[in-house]
Each structure stands twice: as structure tokens, then as C-alpha cells.
Amino acid sequence: MAERRRERRRNRTKLEVTAIGALVVSLLLAAAIGFAVYFALHLIPDSPRGDSAGKREELVYLMKDLQEYVTDEGLTSQSKQAIVRWNRQNWYVFMRIYKGGEVVYDSLSFQNDLTGTEHASQPLLPYQHVYDLQFADGSAKVVVTAFFRTRYEVLLRSGCYALVFFLFLVFFTSWFKKKIRYLGRIEQGIGIMESGSLEYRIPVQGRDELASLAHSINDMAQAVRERGEQQAALERENREIIASVSHDIRTPLTSVIFYLDYIADGRCKDTAELRQFASRASDQAHRLKDMTDDLFEHTLVQNENIPFRFQLLDGQLIEQCVQECLCALGDRGFTVQLQDETDRAYTLWADPGRVRRVFDNLAQNIVKYADETQPITVQVLLDRRRVAVRQRNAIKPGSDTGGTGLGLRTCRRILQRHGGKLLYSQENGCFSVLAVLPVDRSTPPKGAGSVFLPERT
């Protein structure tokens, strides 16, 4: 059981600890103020044993009240139960009643063992007073001891207890109301966010669970906002792609239709012209196929429901992809200058097929648009968190580089799903591209559409 109590203490939340602290502080403050008031007021009254005129007047008034009670009720000296009732209402009064030299009533229990004669012979103490009392069956003597200070102290103590309780409620309720108001602000903030104002942020106050809740809601709103912005950007990009592809498809499609109609109408002068027009139609058809293949692949990588098969690989993947590109470009007659600045081993989470597709696309762009007379520079860079491949080439004079850019967009999306990025630019007749991937991570990229395979051995 002790172990369970220790575990419960360890599992207490910050809000619970704060509430307990507020409870204790409120109680201590209320108790301190209550005791201060008690001790301050405790010094005001005089001693109850003082023989002041005020005390005697109170005793006279008290005995008049007793006499009226006896007269109104028609009590005799033997009506002990009725006398007890009056004495209980005036609990601070202790009295002995003598009649005929004998004690008929005594509220001083510690003297009840004395006989009537011994009572009568006891000397009066300074704070005791004797009064006559008239019963229905004759007169009697009353020895009275009234502790007015005790009555005052009991009332004062009760009032101070009530004051402590009231102050405790005020202090603790003020803290509790602050938390309730903060909950109200959180609820209000959620309502504002629900209305579409995702830029609104709930103020974070304190370090307890409510502050953590506000912080989490703010993070969620930021994530939803960023997601919405990304979705809007993606939709704009898709509209641009559709418009660009639709425009670019018309030219080769028009050419294919023209060449086929020309052949079908029998307008070719000879077999050589027929073959020439058929070859041109075939070239334009392959161009259409390349466009549709690029669009299809771009659609695949944009769809996060189609998984990437991530594996934890070493840096040889990047080295192999770069070497394969160099070999392919060398076979096409390009001169490539490689600068490998990696100085250590590293690992990266990657889908090998997708990464190779990125480098294949970059190589195809070089073949299409690069100037064969100018060298191509390729740099492999490595720092503590990233590996980067930078490629620069001169653009072939007269080449049309204003196409859809689907291949580069696809490569960029592939690297983004790897946690990396692709940057490219064209300036002063030179094309530059930078492909970046994260390295030495303990966990694979997060997100939808990811399948994690065991590390290769």
C-alpha cells in the first residue's frame, strides 16, 4: 500500500500539485489573518474577575433575568430541571442556590461532594457574588460566578473560525475562478479557430496542464493552417500543371493528326516521303507518351496513400546514383567534372527506386537541354545533418526550356517525402539544381504513405 501511495504521488499532475498548493496557501493566509484578528480583539475586554461597575451591572441584570424566569414559570426551589434549562442558556454562569441553609441547586460539579452545611460555611471568593432569589415556596440565596470573558472568548473564537473559513473560501475561490476564466479563454479561442481564424493563438499562462492544453491547441491550429496552405499551394500547382500540359499536348497532337491525315489521304509522293511523315508522327507520339508518363508519375508521388518503401541505407546509394548519371552522360558525349567532398560514412532513410528516379530525371534534363560543348559540374556535399548534390550546366543555345517542368516537380515531391528538398534555378544561360536529403537520423520520415523496411544486412 505504501508503494501505491508513492506511485500516486509521483503521478500527480501539475494542475493537481498547483491546486494543493493553492489550497494550503489559502488556508495558511486565512488562518494567519484569523489568528491576528483573534489576538488583537482578545486584548480588548477587561479581566472577568475584575470587580468593575460594569461587571456588577451585568450580574444584576443577569439575576433580574433569573428572577423573572422563576416568577413567570412559577418555580419552586425544587424545580431543578427548569433551573438547569435556564443555566444551559446562560452556560457561562455557575451558581449555588441555598434555601434554609441547605444547597438545593449547584452547577459547580466539582463541589457536589460537599454537604449543605459545608457549602454554607465556605468563604466567598473575590469573583463570587450573593443575591436573593424569590421562589414560589420562599426566598433563597444564590452564589453566582459569571465568566463573561469566557462568553466573549467563545463568541470571538467562533467569529474568528468563521472569518478563517470565509477568507479561505475567498482566496481559494479567487485562484479557482482564475483557472475557470482561463478555461473560458481556451474555449473562446477554440471557437475563434473553428470559425476559420487559424492565425489566432490562445495565450499560454502558467506551466500546468491547462497551459499545455493551450499550447497543444495552438500547435494543432498551426499545423492545420500549414496543411491548408500546402493543400492550396498544391491545388494551384496542379491547376498550373493541367493548364501547361493541356497547352503542350496540343502541339505534338496536332502534328500527329496532320501527318496521319496526310498519309491517309494518299498525298505522299513516294515511299520515302511516306516513311518521313510516319517517322515524324512517331516522334510526336513518343513525345506525347513522355508527357503522359511524367504526368502519371507526378500524380503517383503526390498521392500520399501510395507508400514509399523506406530503408536505412549507407551513403553508397548516393555514390552509385551519381556514378550511374556520370556514365550515362559520358556515353552521350558530355564532359562531367565531379567534386566529391564527403569525408565520412553516413546513413540515410530512403526508397532506393524513388531516389534513382530523381537522378535519372536530372540526367535526362541534361541530355535534353545542356550544351555539350560546356563541362557539367557535379558536387557532392556533406555536413552534420544533410547530404547535397549540386549540378550546374550551360543551357544549349536555342533549346526550349519553358515546358511543364513536371519532371522537376516530381523530383521535388519525391525528396520532400524523404524529408529533403530540391531547389533549381535558371540564370544567365546556366541551369543549377540542388538535391538535399537528411542523413544520420534514427527514425524514418514521418507522414502518410510510408512503409518502413528492415535495415539491409
Give the three-state DSSP class for 101: coil
Does residue 193 lie within any of the structural domains?
A: no
Strands 430-438 and 386-394: antiparallel
Is residue 249 within 8 A of residue 404, CB to CB? The reply is no
Q: Which of 103, 119, 146 is the last residue of a domain?
A: 146
pLDDT at 456: 46
DSSP state of 207: S
pLDDT at 298: 66
How many structural domains is the chain composed of?
A: 3
Q: Are residues 288 and 254 in the same domain?
A: yes
Q: Are residues 358 and 442 in the same domain?
A: yes
Residue 260's alpha-carbon distances to 7, 182, 271, in angstroms, are 83, 75, 14
Q: Which of 244, 275, 297 is the last residue of a domain?
A: 297
**Is a pLDDT exceeding 80 seen at residue 50?**
no
| H or E element, residue 451 | strand 450-452
pLDDT tens column, 159-202: 888 888 888 888 888 877 887 888 888 888 888 888 888 888 88
Does residue 40 lie within any of the structural domains?
A: no
d(C-alpha 391, C-alpha 370), whole Å: 11
Q: Are residues 319 and 250 in the same domain?
A: no
Q: Are residues 82 and 138 in the same domain?
A: yes
Does residue 68 lie within any of the structural domains?
A: yes
Q: Are residues 142 and 246 in the same domain?
A: no
Q: Are residues 286 and 313 in the same domain?
A: no
- Domain range for 337 is 307-452
pLDDT at 420: 92
d(C-alpha 165, C-alpha 159), whole Å: 10
pLDDT tens column, 2-34: 554 554 444 456 677 777 878 888 888 888 888
Residues 6+ apart with CB under 8 A from 198: 221, 222, 224, 225, 228
**Is a pLDDT exceeding 90 seen at residue 435?**
yes
